């Protein structure tokens, strides 16, 4: 069995509207110009001025002492886990968390830790659920529980925004139990733009936090992990070990700085397009739409008597690309290559396919 995605089928028309994920945007000409003009040096020697500037900027944005530039969000999560935990430890996170479901088993494979999955609607849980999952303190038979991890926004929770009070309460319960705290902020800036709560405030109760530049921010590469200075120092050993240390990586960091300057406020447009798309889908009989809070829209096609993957395939034949999650659930991700016109057209394609199935 091949693990690669199937090769493009030459009989299919080109993808005209790509809602597969918010990772599907292409770097803009202005972003490419910023990359071409970047001042660079050897990052491993601390000499890349563009990466240094980006790290300072991210540390301030997230309210932490220091930050580290990495190739991907997955590497931010895994380096954080490797630095926070030791083999045999347990991480407490939502059962749908990216670290538990979508990183190739890296916490097990690389760090030797188990992710204990907590239940709860919309990819979230409350402090009480966390407390129930804690093993008794000083209990020698249980695995050491050393880390709490949350996702803001919760990806498979429908891009839902953790309310600040819940984030704070969960972090406080973890701290009380002696756990460190980590926030996967792949889409933290989406939450901040939607609520006007600063990212540093959302992350205040968390020891470490990272943001991704390749989601709605539209950069081709890069993520940054922030935390206490001593933590980032320790994390550098893992960055070096895993081959995540750059040379003239300022070329990539320039795209990320450009995204922070130009692509944060516009996330509100993605949220508006997602809301409009959801409203249009709600009018289609046979679809169950999860009301979007940010740029991701999940909906269920089970009532049409078709699987998510077969429905996605039928849309693909019309030039619309979406992703299937689970037997009947699909996801549309809005990003900077999708405007109001593409949003309307995508909904119209789905309306036609649903009508065909009903008829």
Ligand X SMILES: *Cc1c(COP(=O)(O)O)cnc(C)c1O
The rounded distance, in Å, linking the Cα atoms of 173 and 128 is 8
**Shortest spacing between CB 327 and ligand X, in angstroms:** 21
**73: contact with ligand X by CB under 6 A:** yes
Query: 5 or 13: whose CB is closer to ligand X?
Result: 5
Which of 286, 326 has the CB closer to ligand X? 326
Q: Residue holding tokens 């009380």?
A: 176
Residue of 295, 207, 292 whose CA lies nearest to 24: 295
Give me the least distance between CB of 10 and ligand X, in Å please: 28
Residues 177-206 that bind ligand X (CB under 6 A): 184, 186
Residue 312 binds ligand X (CB under 6 A): no
d(CA 84, CA 224): 17
Only one of the segments 53-61, 66-74, 242-250, 277-285 lies at the binding site for ligand X (rule: CB under 6 A); that segment is: 66-74
Say if CB 334 and CB 24 are below 8 A apart: no
3-class SS at 187?
coil
Site mask, ligand X, residues 74-113, x = CB under 6 A?
x--x--------------------x---------------
Query: Segment near ligand X (CB under 6 A), from 70-78, 106-114, 273-281, 306-314?
Result: 70-78
Stretch in the footprint of ligand X (CB under 6 A) among 11-19, 68-76, 129-137, 350-358:
68-76
Backbone angles phi, psi at 212, to 5 degrees: -105, 135
Could you tell me the smallest distance in angstroms from the CB atom of residue 123 to ligand X? 9
Q: Quick one: which H or E segment has residue 239?
A: helix 229-241
Burial (0-12, 13-18, 19+ Cβ within 10 Å), 311 = buried
Are 224 and 217 a contacting pair, CB within 8 Å? no
- Residue whose beta carbon is closest to ligand X: 73
Element at 16 (helix H, strand E)? none
* Contact residues: ligand X, CB under 6 A: 72-74, 77, 98, 151, 155, 184, 186, 212, 214, 223
């Amino acid at each position: 069995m091949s693990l690669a995605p199937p090769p493009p089928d030459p009989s299919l028309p080109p993808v005209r509207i790509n809602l597969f994920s918010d990772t599907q945007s292409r770097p803009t000409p202005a972003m490419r110009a910023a990359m071409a003009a970047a001042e660079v040096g050897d990052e491993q020697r601390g000499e890349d001025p563009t990466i240094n500037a980006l790290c300072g900027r991210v540390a301030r944005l997230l309210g932490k002492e220091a930050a580290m530039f990495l190739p991907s969000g997955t590497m931010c999560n895994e380096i954080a886990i490797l630095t926070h935990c030791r083999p045999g430890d347990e991480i407490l996170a939502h059962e749908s968390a990216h670290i538990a479901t979508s990183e190739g088993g890296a916490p097990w494979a690389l760090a030797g830790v188990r992710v204990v999955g907590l239940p709860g609607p919309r990819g979230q849980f409350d402090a009480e659920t966390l407390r129930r999952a804690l093993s008794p303190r000083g209990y020698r038979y249980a695995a050491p529980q050393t880390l709490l991890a949350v996702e803001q926004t919760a990806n498979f929770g429908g891009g839902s925004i953790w309310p600040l009070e819940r984030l704070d309460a969960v972090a406080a319960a973890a701290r009380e139990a002696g756990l460190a705290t980590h926030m996967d902020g792949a889409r933290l800036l989406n939450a901040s733009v939607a609520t006007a709560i600063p990212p540093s405030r959302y992350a205040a109760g968390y020891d470490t936090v990272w943001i991704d530049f390749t989601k709605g921010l539209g950069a081709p590469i890069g993520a940054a992990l922030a935390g206490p200075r001593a933590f980032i120092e320790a994390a550098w050993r893992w960055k070096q070990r895993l081959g995540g240390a750059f040379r003239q990586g300022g070329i990539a960091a320039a795209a990320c700085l450009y995204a922070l300057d130009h692509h944060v406020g516009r996330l509100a447009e993605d949220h508006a397009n997602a809301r409009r798309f959801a409203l249009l889908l709600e009018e289609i009989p046979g679809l169950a739409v999860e009301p979007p809070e940010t740029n991701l829209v999940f909906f269920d096609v089970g009532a049409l008597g078709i699987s998510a993957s077969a429905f996605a395939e039928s849309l693909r034949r019309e030039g619309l690309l979406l992703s299937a999650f689970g037997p009947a659930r699909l996801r549309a991700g809005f990003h900077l290559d999708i405007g109001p016109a593409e949003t309307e057209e995508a909904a119209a394609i789905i309306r036609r396919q649903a009508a065909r199935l009903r008829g």
